[in-house]
Amino acid sequence: MKYVLDQEKIRPDLVRTIERLSGEDVRQCYQCGKCSAGCPIAADMDLPPNQVMRMLQLGLTDEALDSRTIWLCASCETCTTRCPREVDLAAVMDALRHEALRQGRKSPIRQIPFFNRTFLRLIKKYGRVFEMELIGRFNVGTLHFFKDVTKAPRLFFRGRLKLWPSFKGRKTARPAFQAVKNAQRHEPAEPPAADESAGNPTP
């Protein structure tokens, strides 16, 4: 890849937005690679986490926003915990996802935003996750109807999978969703899709 670099491209508004959303200064990163060294998913990423930071440092925002990495990131925060420059990389990844959704970019891995949306819908509905419905909706939505079905009996007998959702505390999450909606109304600059990935998108 060839990149014609100039003063305008360094720290564009978009990078400043990412910095504002994450509360981090991308220039703090000195590219030691400790984040990539410890990342449990780095092997499946197209850009290792340090390179996502590098792209932001050079103003190469498209490379960062269209990467699989930001969607594969499990927010386990190993990188954040170990970063010698105390950069909260998980927060930067989160900010990148926000921004990608806000811009309406298509995730290179379609299932992940779909999973996140489904997950949040269930939280809104039940106040907590209802695994059976989540699996069902996810499998139907991704057209992999029988994905992981063989694992269901064991999970069921171990009490990890319930057939009916819990009705306890159903409405507890709703004020939070309302609060986000209100906040968006007052501050339209905020990414409207914030709620979509506000939850922890653990796969």
Q: Say how far apart CA 195 and CA 203 lie, in whole Å.
A: 17
Among 41, 58, 76, 152, binds other proteins (CB under 8 A): 58
- Residue among 69, 73, 178, 199 at smallest CA distance from 134: 199
Q: Say how far apart CA 163 and CA 40 lie, in whole Å.
A: 32
| Least distance CB 2 / other proteins (angstroms) | 4
Closer to other proteins by CB, 66 or 133: give it: 66
* Contact call for residues 45 and 67 (beta carbons, < 8 A): yes
- Residue among 26, 38, 33, 37 at smallest CA distance from 64: 26
57 binds other proteins (CB under 8 A): yes
50 binds other proteins (CB under 8 A): yes
| Least distance CB 152 / other proteins (angstroms) | 43
Among 55, 73, 122, 193, binds other proteins (CB under 8 A): 55
Among 18, 21, 36, 51, binds other proteins (CB under 8 A): 51
Secondary structure element (H or E) that encloses residue 15, with its range: helix 13-22
Stretch that binds other proteins, among 55-63, 93-101, 151-159, 169-177 (CB under 8 A): 55-63
13 binds other proteins (CB under 8 A): no
Closer to other proteins by CB, 7 or 150: give it: 7
Closer to other proteins by CB, 64 or 95: give it: 64
Stretch that binds other proteins, among 49-57, 149-157, 168-176, 178-186 (CB under 8 A): 49-57
11 binds other proteins (CB under 8 A): yes
**Dihedral angle of Cα 82, 87, 91, 92, to the nearest 10 degrees:** -120
* Contact call for residues 39 and 45 (beta carbons, < 8 A): yes
Among 16, 20, 23, 28, binds other proteins (CB under 8 A): 28
Among 20, 31, 84, 166, binds other proteins (CB under 8 A): 31
CA distances from 17 to 20, 23, 89, 123 (A): 5, 10, 15, 28
Secondary structure element (H or E) that encloses residue 181, with its range: helix 174-186
Q: Say how far apart CA 59 and CA 50 lie, in whole Å.
A: 14
Q: Which residues bind other proteins (CB under 8 A)?
A: 1-7, 10-11, 25, 27-28, 30-31, 50-51, 54-55, 57-58, 60, 63
